[in-house]
Amino acid sequence: MDLTVWADLGWQAWFTLGVIGVIFTALIATEAGTDVVLVGGITLLLLAGVLSPREAFAGLSNEGILTIAVLYVVVAGLEATGGNTIIAERFLRRPKSVPSALAKMMFPVTFVSAFMNNTPVVAMFLPAVHDWAKQNRISVSKLMIPLSYAAVLSGTVTIVSTATNLLVNGMLIAEKGHGMHMFELTWIGIPIAIAGVLFVIAFNRWLLPERRAASDQFGDTREYSAEMMVDPAGPLVGKTIEQAGLRQLTNTFLAEIEREGEILSAVAPETRLYANDRLIFIGVVGSVIDLQKIRGLVPATNQIFKLGSPRVNRCLIEAVVSHRCPIVGQTVRDGKFRTLYNAVVIAVARSGERLNQKIGDIVLQAGDTLLVEADPAFAEQQRNSHHFYLVSRVEGSAPVNHDRAYLALAILITMILVASFTDLGMLKSALIAAAAMLFLRCCTSAQARRSVEWKIIISIAAAFALGSAVHNTGLAAAFAHSITGAAGGDAFLSLVAIYGGTLLLTELISHSAAVSLMFPIAIGTAAALGIDYMPFVAAVTTAGSLGFATPLGYQTHMMVYSPGGYRFTDFLRIGIPMDILCWAIAMLMIPIVFPLVPVVR
């Protein structure tokens, strides 16, 4: 191994290596947020002069990172209209177990991602999978990493699957005057995709974490009584309780059904739903919000349609009834709650008592907690009122506008097709789609602003800056030359080393930076050995598209990091075996598809 390349490194490279060590140690050994740790590392590099301010913050203007930020607005349109529920209905069926859920999710996502850029595919499926997991009482952490992996695994099935493939193809055209065709790497990508999906399904019990949200861990002592109605024009009519997904709801249960004056209690899973059935649910506040997101269920009271403000502009507000409230001792209906407060009671919680009644028939008592649907101004108007002890807005509780669900899906599908098959590009397509979501009222501007996960955006931008430091100081080149130099002139070992070097840099910096650095080394290695360059190009492309061990190497990993409640070590635990598996299959398939043969001169 040639060590001169390391001897020639300046202090900036060694300082950067030390900062990387500190970052990885902090991510593994502490509970500090990824964004905080990465920004702290970038701050050290900035103060030391390794990075200029322009380089440190260049990620915030990077096209890929801006695309993700805009995609969050597109996803907000899906969530606000219930479009994500339709995606779940079409692609995701009711699973019987976690392995079944993984199979039902990963195979469709892998197939779709083979023909589309994987970033919008993850953006499209993320809210649907999140809600699907909650409805089926599956830990979200069991599905989020597999979602990202499924989208990434098909990265080399077609050239359009990832930006990495297009980048390598562009460099190949510039170097050799020709590029790869659409299915050049297909017979390498298909075995990897199938083996990767099967590996996750088989070993999920040991390699995927079981994380629970803080709210689930501490629970909610308030049990609300909520009344919903089966929409006559909705998709639930004629379905059984089991088929409708109402049997295993998280933190809630169906207490009874009222049908034409008859009360059906102890509802069996095979009971079929009829139009206008009134369903009484008992559950915590979060479950009431989830009920309103189910397509085909609407609040049973018709009072919500009599409020002055558009429903899309409303939210849910919790209000604790005071002993001074003028309607204490009266039913919600007789007290004319809507007329008095311009708000509608959706659910009622009474400490220590289960209320299996229609909302309108509940006699209000001091201390009752009401979940009301109202304009956000209600909270400000009643906060200092003597009628309520406490008033607080429930975040993320805007009613779902199901009428625009198919419009939101049409915008999403158009965005993906335009980005995949025209020269407009992903960023411009996403900007147009986001504007369409706002203009066509699929979501509000407030929902769009709240949808952007700034923690993730900052983390990716900081990782981008860290990659620049590794590249600019010569540290990346030193790693690459050391790895390829260890092959000792053997063709197959050189192929293994090229793949390994690209993979390592993909995990440490980014896939685009890794392939940009390793491509010329791969071409030079092939020329030095006197063999065809395509096996080495295939190795660089495949390794650059298939990094699983850290959330830093691929942007879709960062997109699922926060929703899954993950720690840095969660990716290491399942990602390292995945990296090794894909590496092994690639080393088996690449020489078959592209034989390591001498160049005929």
Q: At what angle do helices 454-472 and 475-485 cross, to 10 degrees?
A: 70
Q: Do both 385 and 462 map to the same domain? A: no
CATH of residue 259's domain is: 3.30.70.1450
**Under 8 Å CB-to-CB from 155, ≥6 apart: which residues?**
113, 118, 161, 162, 164, 165, 189, 542, 545, 546
Please write the tens of the pLDDT for every residue from 151-164. Answer: 999 888 887 777 78
Q: Does 525 lie in the same domain as 470?
A: yes
Cα(276)–Cα(236) distance, rounded to whole angstroms? Answer: 11
Co-location of 185 and 259 in the same domain: no
Same domain, 106 and 170: yes
Quote the longest CA-to-CA distance of the chain: 97
HEC string for 227-252: EEEECCCCCCCCCECCCCCCCCCCCE
Q: What is the pLDDT of residue 594?
A: 93
Which residues is 392 bridged to in the sheet? 318
For residue 598, tell me if it sits in a domain. no
Strand partners, 388: 321
3-state secondary structure of 393: strand
Sign of the Cα torsion 508, 510, 516, 519 reads positive
Are 23 and 95 members of one domain? Answer: yes
Let me know whether 373 and 462 are in one domain.
no
281 forms beta bridges with 226, 254
What whole-number distance in Å separates Cα of residue 215 and Cα of residue 140? 13
Q: Supply 175's token pair.
A: 């170097």
- Residue 174 belongs to some domain of the structure: yes
Cα angle for residues 452, 314, 227 (degrees, 5° grid)? 115
Residue 416 lies in a domain: no
> Which CB contacts under 8 angstroms, 24+ apart, belong to 9-16?
9/473, 9/474, 9/475, 9/478, 10/473, 10/474, 12/48, 12/49, 12/50, 12/473, 13/473, 13/474, 13/475, 13/478, 15/45, 15/48, 15/50, 16/45, 16/50, 16/469, 16/470, 16/473, 16/475
Q: Are residues 181 and 53 in the same domain?
A: yes
Quote the DSSP letter at residue 353: B
pLDDT value of residue 539: 94
Asked if 508 and 580 sit in the same domain, the reply is yes
Residue with tokens 């009484």, as numbered in its chain: 280
Q: Are residues 123 and 236 in the same domain?
A: no
Q: Name the H helices within 275-356.
A: 285-293, 337-341
Angle at 549 between CA 548 and CA 555, to 5 degrees: 55
Q: Which letter does DSSP use for residue 283 in this model?
A: E
- Residue 146 structure tokens: 């597999």
Q: Is 599 exposed, middle or buried (0-12, 13-18, 19+ CB in 10 A)?
A: exposed
Sorted by sequence, the CB contacts under 8 Å of residue 598 that are 6+ apart come out as 530, 531, 532
What digits encode the pLDDT tens for the residues 204-229? 989 998 876 444 544 455 778 888 88
Q: Is residue 210 classed exposed, middle or buried when 0-12, 13-18 and 19+ CB atoms within 10 A define those classes? A: exposed
* Class of residue 394 by CB neighbours under 10 A (exposed 0-12, middle 13-18, buried 19+): middle
99 with 204, same domain: the answer is yes
DSSP result, 122-150 = HHHHHHHHHHHHHHTT--GGGTHHHHHHH
Q: Is residue 105 a contact partner of residue 92, using CB atoms and an 8 Å limit?
A: yes
| DSSP string of 269-280, one letter each residue | TTPBP-TT-EEE
Instruction: Give the C-alpha separation, 537 to 484, whole Å.
Output: 14
3-state secondary structure of 347: strand
- Cα separation of 430 and 241, whole Å? 38
Q: What is the pLDDT of residue 221?
A: 54
Low-confidence residues of the chain: pLDDT under 70: 1-5, 212-221, 302-312, 352, 396-397, 600-601
Residue 569 in domain: yes
Tokens for 139, please give them.
């830990």
- Predicted confidence at residue 217, as pLDDT, reads 46
pTM of the predicted structure, to 2 decimals: 0.74
Q: What does the buried/exposed string (b/e) look like for 216-246 if buried means 16 or more CB atoms within 10 Å of the residue's CB?
A: beeeeebbbbbbbbbbeebebbebebeebbb
- Among the candidates 374, 393, 412, a domain finishes at 393
Strand partners for 299: 228
**What span, in angstroms and rounded, lies between the C-alpha atoms of 398 and 395?**
8
Q: Is residue 95 part of a domain?
A: yes
Residue 310 domain-assigned (yes or no): yes
User: Are both 481 and 567 inside the same structural domain?
Assistant: yes
How many CB atoms within 10 Å of residue 352? 6
Q: What is the structure's pLDDT at 311?
A: 67
| CB 582 within 8 Å of CB 547 | no
Domain end point (choices 375, 393, 411): 393
d(CA 65, CA 39): 16
Last residue of a domain, one of 393, 416, 434: 393
User: 260: domain range?
Assistant: 223-283+296-393
How many domains does the chain divide into? 2
Q: Would you say residue 4 lies in a domain? A: no
Give ∠ CA 89-90-95 in degrees, rounded to 5. Answer: 60
pLDDT value for 577: 95
Q: CA separation (Å) from 206 to 29, 153, 481, 599?
A: 20, 20, 36, 46
Sign of CA dihedral 472, 475, 478, 480: negative
In a domain, 483, yes or no: yes
The answer to whether 532 and 601 have CB atoms below 8 angstroms apart is: no
Which tens digits make up the pLDDT trace of 540-567? 999 998 999 988 777 888 888 888 888 8
d(CA 490, CA 502): 18
Contact 400, 314 (CB under 8 A): no
Q: What is the predicted pLDDT for the residue at 203?
A: 94
**Same domain, yes or no, for 261 and 192?**
no
- Asked whether the beta carbons of 465 and 560 are under 8 A apart, the reply is no
